[in-house]
Amino acid sequence: MSHKLELISFKLCPFVQRAVIVLKQKQVDFDITYIDLNNPPEWFKEISPLGQVPVLKVGDDVLFESSVIQEYVDEITPPSLQPSDPLLKAKNRAWISFGSDILFAMHALITTKDEAVLEEKQALIQQKLGQLEAQHSGGSYFNGEEFNMIDAAYAPMLMRLCFVKNLTGLDLLENCPKLSRWSEVLLAMPCVQQSVVEDLMLMYKGMIKKMDGLLAASLG
Ligand SMILES: N[C@@H](CCC(=O)N[C@@H](CS)C(=O)NCC(=O)O)C(=O)O
């Protein structure tokens, strides 16, 4: 690798975390630069086409979109974390995208001030988790006994579901035994534990409090 990679991050962002997990699992030496998304610096606005993190700087080039960054890092550091079967790889990509929708619904769930929206988002998340449960292999990882890209992509969501349970008592995985076990396996992995700042759960709690939605009232 000719350039040291630089990842532009926001500490609370689950999409950045997806990229960090792959970088850590592949033992890539990279720099991480944190920005405040509420007050982004000028240089960030210039390089980020969507004004979003993650952004990966590769020399003078810039990559955006977490799944693209994950795949680029994977491709330059063989062996690949993707399944070799093209059909399974394509299915995994589709389910990774499905997971992004769950993350957006979770953000709405923890911030909304509207009771009807809260109920709607909770039902939506549980429905989507049920669909995911039906796709899961039932093994330690999504596809079986091998850690793949899809596991790296879902770990940030599983971590936040665990935060929500610990902080508010709301267990969105209660009817999903395969996902619950998957969560335990992934959250114990060093590449996942080292992918976030140490006090992320407290920061997450602080964000729920600050947004002052309905779920803030359930915080311990
Ligand atoms: N599809 C993007 C989503 C990234 C995303 O939503 N990032 C959020 C932070 S978690 C962001 O930068 N939000 C700022 C904005 O949208 O203005 C990806 O997978 O990278």
Q: What is the pLDDT of residue 36?
A: 96
What is the Å distance from ligand 1's center to 139 Cα?
30
Predicted confidence (pLDDT) per residue in 24-54, tens digit: 999 999 999 999 999 999 999 999 999 999 9
User: Which atom of ligand 1 approaches the CA of 51 most closely?
Assistant: 17
Residue nearest to ligand 1 atom 16, measured at CA = 52
pLDDT of residue 192 exceeding 70:
yes
What is the Å distance from ligand 1's center to 13 Cα?
8
Q: What is the pLDDT of residue 220?
A: 74
**Every domain of the chain and the residues it spans:** 5-76, 86-218
Q: What is the pLDDT of residue 10?
A: 98
DSSP per-residue codes, the chain: --S-EEEEE-TT-HHHHHHHHHHHHTT--EEEEE--TTS--HHHHHH-TTS-S-EEEETTEEEESHHHHHHHHHHHSSSPSS-SSHHHHHHHHHHHHHHHHHHHHHHHHHH---HHHHHHHHHHHHHHHHHHHHHS-SSSSSSSSS--HHHHHHHHHHHHHHHHHHHH---TTTT-HHHHHHHHHHHTSHHHHTTS-TTHHHHHHHHHHHHT-GGGGG--
Q: Does domain 5-76 have CATH number 3.40.30.10?
A: yes
Mean pLDDT throughout 122-135? 98
Q: What is the pLDDT of residue 3?
A: 82
Residue nearest to ligand 1 atom 1, measured at CA = 65
Which residues surround ligand 1 with Cβ inside 6 Å?
10, 13, 15, 37, 51-54, 65-66, 100
pLDDT of residue 1 exceeding 90:
no
Q: Which CATH architecture has domain 86-218?
A: Up-down Bundle (1.20)
Average pLDDT, the chain: 97
Mean pLDDT throughout 93-108? 97
Give me the percent of the chain exceeding a pLDDT of 90. 98
What is the Å distance from ligand 1's center to 10 Cα?
10
Mean pLDDT throughout 175-191? 98
- Domain 5-76 identical in fold to domain 86-218: no
Residue nearest to ligand 1 atom 6, measured at CA = 52
Residue nearest to ligand 1 atom 2, measured at CA = 65
pLDDT of residue 157 exceeding 80:
yes
